[in-house]
A = this chain, B = another copy of it.
Amino acid sequence: MSEIATPSRRQLLTLIGRMGGAAAMYQAMTALGHAAETQFDGPPVLSGAKPGASVVVLGAGLAGMVAAYELEKAGYAVKILEFQDRPGGRNYSLRGGDTFTESDGTVQKVQFAPGNYINPGPWRIPHHHKCVLHYCRQFGVALEPFIQLNHNGFIHASDAFGGKPVRYKEAAVDFKGHTSELLAKALNSGSLDQSVTGEDKERLLEALRGWGVLDDKMAYTSSVRVSSQRGYDRAPGGGVDGAPTPSQIASLSDVLAPQVWTAMSFYFNYVMQTTMFQPVGGMDMIGKAFASRVGKSITYNAKVTKVAQNGKGVTVSYKDVPSGKTSSVSADWCVCTIPLSIISQVEMQVSPKMAAALKAVPYSGHIKMGMEFKRRFWEEDDNIYGGHSFTDQAIGQLSYPNDRMFSQGPAVLLGAFTSGAGAFELAGMTPQERIEAALTQGEIFHPQYRKEFLNGVSVPWTRVPWILGCVSHWSEEGRAEHYQDLVAIDGRIAMAGEHASYYGGWMEGSMLSGLDAISRIHKRSLEA
């Protein structure tokens, strides 16, 4: 990149550097303000907890467990009630031997080979989700890169490129090439002279020539130079026949398929940007790490039936699921992390405002499918290592595994990940029909698909009995009306979970909301 520099610029900078020192200059410049990466700046300091103060936490997902962990560290007596027979909530992984029972009783038994898994819930951690990363570091949860953008993944739009999948690099390079050509044409026609200064116009033309890989006439055309971005018909090689041959660019019309720019935009989402991570061995390593610290406070198989409170504390009634036996637990305070789709159906002694908030948030209906194949043909045959292929078919996308790349033997890819119409279509099928649909649709990308297939599992979140949906989906209006009512401490009760955050669907939102809830409860407790 350094070739861009002109000596005079460097000299200027050197001069500035000499006058004050680079660090001083940087400090002065950052005084203008630098974007904050996260709201997390370390776990809350809960000092001076009253002896004997107690908190009951509902739900042993990440919000509940991080709350319990920090409360116990601060000296609170904590009890956690969990409906399931395991910790983690949506933070979990399915492996060979596991079963998954849908709300109508349909049972799927996972048949993956040892070591293989699928994360039906959260599956990737952005580099700026410092709260999640903090606890991973602290608990020694090993992380590995989650490949997000893969230029060699596919984009498939049924009404573009003749219905044929194209590589991301081809579509993205052609999109920027064609749009650069058009903008250069407009600039040269003078039609933007009112919008751009003369100097910026020249600089922008130069940028478009480079960025768009335009030719001498500022046109986007097939060439070896363009192929050095979008890929070649025959790649460069060695020796006598080493010369590459160029590929043919796609038309403007083809690259205007919404699948192209939505895929390109996807990777620009703040929460989707590289570098991302996943725990080695499955996302549930995080939940398990918390459970190994707060597990002795968890009562499993506890179905909450009523949450009552008065000025002095909270009493939670629950039923032991296998035995049907009812019990109750009392505490000074309650942190409730049960998903709104469930808790809104439970008798809760809260204010009308909070009661309204509990019912105000719809949940998304994502579906995920884990498909096991005999070998990593996407790596071996197609040079795809991690990342995604997008399609406008019901399955939405394929995502390739980021663990144990280059290894031999069966491997699991994500054969569907979608919400909206596609998810409802798949959720309405039997597990076997879903597999059949995923195979038919996946073959668009990988002709080897059906031949290499071994087995699969589908998790339609609308049919997961303990949540009946995937993640909270606040509308702008709903949030304006109900969010503060939801998160405000109601008497002795505070809500937490991804639904009580601005990071819906992310573990970071869950955990930050848990920490925020206990910080306020702690403060209130000291005042009480």
Contacts and interface: CB of A to CB of B under 8 A. Distances in A.
A464 interface: no
A449 B151 CA distance: 33
A501 interface: yes
A252 B25 CA distance: 24
A50 interface: no
Interface in A31-76: 32-33, 35-40
Given A128-B383, A152-B275, A418-B2, A520 B23 contact: no
Interface stretch (A257-265, A314-322, A350-358): A257-265
B447 A23 contact: yes
Interface string A512-526: 111111011000000
A452 interface: no
B7 A163 contact: no
A229 B270 contact: yes
Contacts of A137: 406
A232 interface: yes
A236 interface: yes
A328 interface: no
Copies of this polypeptide in the complex: 2
Given A164-B26, A211-B264, A502-B236, A150 B275 contact: yes
B387 A275 contact: yes
B170 A501 contact: no
A145 interface: yes
Interface stretch (A99-107, A185-193, A292-300): A185-193
Contacts of A229: 265, 268-270
Contacts of A263: 1
Contact of A273 (B35, B169, B402): B169
Nearest to A246: B35
A242 B137 CA distance: 24
Interface stretch (A81-89, A113-121, A195-203, A303-311): A195-203
A167 B35 contact: yes
Nearest to A275: B385
Given A186-B182, A252-B200, A513-B239, A383 B37 contact: yes
B127 A385 contact: yes
Given A5-B421, A39-B241, 20 more contacts: A1-B259, A1-B392, A2-B393, A26-B165, A29-B162, A29-B163, A35-B247, A37-B152, A40-B237, A133-B406, A151-B273, A152-B274, A182-B196, A206-B258, A229-B270, A238-B503, A239-B500, A241-B516, A242-B512, A275-B386
